[in-house]
């Protein structure tokens, strides 16, 4: 596989905004991840050929960048805020409700491949804690009994 026409078009538009291709690598990986859901070795090889970087270089950058996935993830990413403000506003109960609803723990994907549940340090919505995010949608404050209805909206 190589980069798709859509991927190339988006990369060609984004990269001129960076001083060099290495600086653009995280953005480039997000472009590809948005279409392929996660960054396989093959995806990094495709990008590496485009950026003039090795798979190993991209892999080490991906390891330290936020929200770049080197393993398969579900169709929807559920983030539960695991940080100070939310701790005091009901984080533990919210996390428990999400885990019970999904039947998986933090870092795991539901068997049907629908959701991956991850903790995150502060969603930047401390006044709305306890907070969670599904894909790009912020939810908060979330009462544990409301978790089912929230998740139901993501097929």
Would you count residue 117 as binding ligand FES (CB under 6 A)? no
Smallest distance, ligand FES to C-beta of residue 40, A: 31
Residues paired with 120 in a beta bridge: 81
Report the residue from 86, 102, 117, 118 that binds ligand FES according to the rule CB under 6 A: 86
Beta strand ranges found along 7-107 (DSSP E): 76-81
Residues 41 and 90: their CA atoms lie apart, in Å, by 39
Smallest distance, ligand FES to C-beta of residue 69, A: 21
Smallest distance, ligand FES to C-beta of residue 106, A: 15
Would you count residue 74 as binding ligand FES (CB under 6 A)? no
Report the residue from 84, 92, 146, 148 that binds ligand FES according to the rule CB under 6 A: 84
Residues 12 and 88: their CA atoms lie apart, in Å, by 45
Sheet holding 132-134, edge to edge: 115-120, 76-81, 132-134, 137-139
Footprint of ligand FES (CB under 6 A):
81, 83-86, 122-123, 125-126, 129, 131
């Amino acid at each position: 596989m190589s980069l798709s026409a859509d991927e190339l078009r988006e990369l060609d538009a984004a990269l001129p905004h960076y001083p060099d291709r290495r600086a653009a690598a995280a953005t480039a990986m997000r472009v590809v991840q948005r279409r392929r859901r996660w960054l396989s070795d093959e995806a990094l090889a495709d990008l590496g050929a485009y950026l003039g970087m090795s798979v190993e270089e991209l892999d080490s950058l991906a390891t330290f960048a936020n929200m770049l996935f080197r393993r398969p993830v579900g169709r929807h990413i559920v983030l539960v805020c695991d940080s100070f403000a939310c701790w005091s506003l009901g984080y533990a109960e919210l996390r428990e409700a999400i885990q019970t609803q999904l039947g998986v723990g933090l870092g795991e994907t539901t068997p049907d491949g629908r959701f991956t549940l991850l903790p995150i340090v502060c969603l930047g919505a401390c006044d709305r804690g306890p907070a969670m995010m599904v894909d790009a949608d912020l939810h908060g404050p979330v009462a544990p009994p409301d978790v089912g209805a929230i998740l139901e909206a993501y097929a």
